[in-house]
Amino acid sequence: MILSWIAAALSRMVSYGTPLLLGTLGEIYAERSGVLNLGVEGMMILGAVSAFATAYTTGNPWLALLAAAAAGGLSSLIHGFFSISLRANQVISGLALTMFGLGLSGLFGKGFAGLPLDNPLPKVTVPLLAEVPLLGTALFQDKSPLIYLGILLTPVLWFLLFRTSLGVNIRSVGENPAAADAAGLNVWRIRYGCVFFGGVMAGLAGGFLSVAYRPAWTQGMTSGMGWIVVALTIFASWNPTRGLFGAYFFGLLFYLSYRLQPWLAPEILQMAPYLGAVLALVLINLFQKRKGGPEALMEPYKRGEK
């Protein structure tokens, strides 16, 4: 009995946690390069509507994921253009992208609202691993491939960021773009690349929502998940592996807030992740010499300016 409870909770944890994880991994890269992108919600929902429209018209859910990634990536370039090329305020440009995404997806999705999807993303069971008692059934049985993608990408992105020269370049652009520039790095290209990658991941997260998690398109269906991603990025202190724990932790608490509702006020559990994000910021600032975020986060870079 208790085991099946736990298995159910773990299974929900990875399911709800996955769109958050994908989005967070992308946003970590964008912010590591020095660009705060508050447009996650907008990119995510553009991904969701593109994925649903593609899956519905072509019948191919894999193509739908490609469309979601493309929609997220392309829309992120809007933010890139304003915040990197025009050096506009990143907060405002990101907010504009969110509003733009929510509006455009509503307009574009009008014809798709209320349609069932006959061909959602298939679920996959990992042989052998699924045989493991408890964890196997919870994590590896009948799961969306994107859940596995999130789990696999996390260590890869961690390695890339902290153990390769590309990672060093990204981080140095986010810490001190002037020095990076002087060292011969193309700040402009690295920032655009990271923002684009963030958009691709946010788009995928949206695609997961509309063709796997709940195969349907309804307007505003991301219902604030993009904002949770922004909070999780801080909670994870810009580290992909901590991003995985954060996203899953949030997913677990979200599920438990309903599972434990008869005994525990749901508000307490739903508040916990945000409280955690604030706490993480406080702890980082108290115990780490350096500030929590990348030093040059939100600072537009212009060659020759201090």
Which of 129, 265, 268, 278 binds other proteins (CB under 8 A)? It is 265
Which range of residues in 102-110, 152-160, 184-192, 272-280 is near other proteins by CB under 8 A? 102-110
With binding defined as CB under 8 A, does residue 254 bind other proteins? Answer: yes
The Cα 217–Cα 49 span in angstroms is 7
Please tell me whether residue 215 binds other proteins under the rule CB under 8 A: yes
Q: Do the beta carbons of residue 68 and residue 47 sit within 8 Å?
A: yes
Q: Tell me if 170 contacts other proteins by CB under 8 A.
A: no
Q: What is the DSSP letter of 117?
A: -
Residue 109 interacts with other proteins (CB under 8 A)? yes
- Residue 27: how many CB atoms within 10 A of its CB? 33
Q: Which stretch binds other proteins (CB under 8 A): 63-71, 104-112, 169-177, 231-239?
A: 104-112
Report the nearest approach of other proteins to the CB of residue 95 (Å): 7
45/170 with CB nearer other proteins: 45
Residues 285, 287, 290, 292: what is their CA dihedral angle, to the nearest 10 degrees?
-40
Taking the least distance from each CB to other proteins, the nearer of 4 and 58 is 4
What contacts 24+ positions apart, CB below 8 Å, involve 62-66?
62/121, 64/121, 64/207, 64/211, 65/121, 65/146, 65/204, 65/207, 65/211
Q: Is 273 in the site for other proteins (CB under 8 A)?
A: no
Neighbours of 11 (CB within 10 A): 19
Give the three-class secondary structure for 124.
strand
Give the helix/strand (H/E) hosting 68.
helix 61-80
Among 186, 223, 285, 288, binds other proteins (CB under 8 A): 223
**Taking CB under 8 A as the rule, does residue 8 contact other proteins?**
yes
Which residue ranges make up the site for other proteins (CB under 8 A)? 4-5, 8-9, 12, 16, 82, 86-89, 92-93, 95-96, 99-100, 102-104, 106-107, 109-110, 113-114, 116, 209, 213-221, 223, 225, 254-255, 258-259, 261-262, 265-266
